[in-house]
Structure formats: structure tokens, C-alpha cells
Amino acid sequence: MSAKTRARMGIASCAVAIAQMFAFAVSAQPPEPSSTPRPSATSKSMTRDLQRTMSPQAFTEQAAVIGRAEVEIGKVALTNAADPQVREYAERMVKDHTQAAEKLGKIAAKEGLQVPQTLDGEHQALKQRLSGLKGAAFDREYAKAMASGHDKAVTLFEAASQAIAMPDDLKEFAAATLPTLEQHRDLAHSLHQKEGA
């Protein structure tokens, strides 16, 4: 066998070995994450902690502020968004969270709980920041904020639906609202991926 033939065989066998290593590395990669977030150990732990410590007043305040933010920021999205899917999502936020706020208001009045009528500092700052954006920049930041916000809202409502100190009507409200919030969260994460944020 000539030196040239041996060299060619050596190169060919190296190429095969590299291809096999590459194929193994690709097959060993973890699967791509799905667009639907899965609860992490941290969020499960937070939910358990909230179940033990959350008061009816604290839940009412947080739920009311979250809902008000979704409505007010959703209205901003109706004028500032470029993507029709983002505007459609915003319309749903305004509608669903307005209905939830009405239900929560009735329960709070019955239970003697105070419902905030304004946004807290965090949500007011978010609204102001998003109000200064338009078009694709708005779409990207709005989708990102909705994904993050709904992750937190789902954790809050899951905890409230099973909280020890929660009156039955608030538990029922939290449990009944949770599937809608989960849909909002999943849609927000899909939009977030689409908008490339």
C-alpha cells in the first residue's frame, strides 16, 4: 500500500470519527424547551410559602393591582402595538381582567377587604416605560412584560386557591381565574418568542 493511499485512508477514518462524535454530541443535547413554561422547584416552593403566609387582604391587593395593570397597559398596547396578534392579546387582557376585577370587587366588599384603586410603583413604572415605545420595540417589550407578569400571577393565584387563611369565596375566585391566567401566560410566552425578545 502506497504512502498516499495510507494517508487517504487515515484522513477518511478521521472524518468518520469526527462525524460520529458530532452525531453523538447532537443526540446528547437536551431537548429544546417548549414554549409553555414548566413550574420550577423555586416557584413550587414560593407557592407553598404563600399558601402558609398569604392573608386575604394581601391577595386582594396584589390581585387587584395586577388586574388593573393588565387593563391599563393593555389599553396602551391597543394604540402602540404594530403586530395585530399583540393588539389581539391586549384586547383579551382588557376584557378578561376587567371581568375578573368586577368579581374580585364584589367578594372584597362582602369580606370587608380594601381594593386599591391605583397601580403600585412597579406597575406604574412599567406602564410609563411601555407608553414611550411604539411599533416593534413596543411589541417586544410588552410581550416580555406579559410573560414575566403572568408567571408571577399564576404563582400568586395557585397559592391563593389553596391558602390556609383564605376565605372560601376568595379561594374559589382564585381557582376559577387560574385557568384563564394560565392561558394568558402561555400566549404571552408564545408572543415573547415570536417577537424575538
Domain spans, the chain: 1-30, 41-194
Q: Where are the alpha helices (DSSP H) in the chain?
A: 3-28, 41-53, 56-80, 84-111, 121-131, 135-160, 168-194
Contact 75/92 with Cβ under 8 angstroms?
Answer: no
pTM over 0.85: no
Q: How many CA atoms, within 13 angstroms, populate the side-chain half-sphere of residue 142?
A: 36
Termini Cα distance of the chain: 59
Instruction: Identify the CATH assignment for 41-194 out of 3.30.1330.10, 1.20.1260.10, 3.30.300.30, 3.40.190.10.
Output: 1.20.1260.10
Q: How many CA atoms, within 13 angstroms, populate the side-chain half-sphere of residue 106?
A: 7
List per-residue pLDDT tens for the chain, 197 residues long.
Answer: 544 444 444 434 443 333 333 333 333 333 344 444 555 555 555 556 666 679 999 999 999 999 999 999 999 999 999 999 999 999 999 999 999 999 999 999 999 999 999 999 999 999 999 999 999 999 999 999 999 999 999 999 999 999 988 999 999 999 999 999 999 999 999 999 987 65
The residues with which 135 forms a beta bridge, in sequence order, are 81
Contact 35/186 with Cβ under 8 angstroms?
Answer: yes
Length of the chain as a residue count? 197
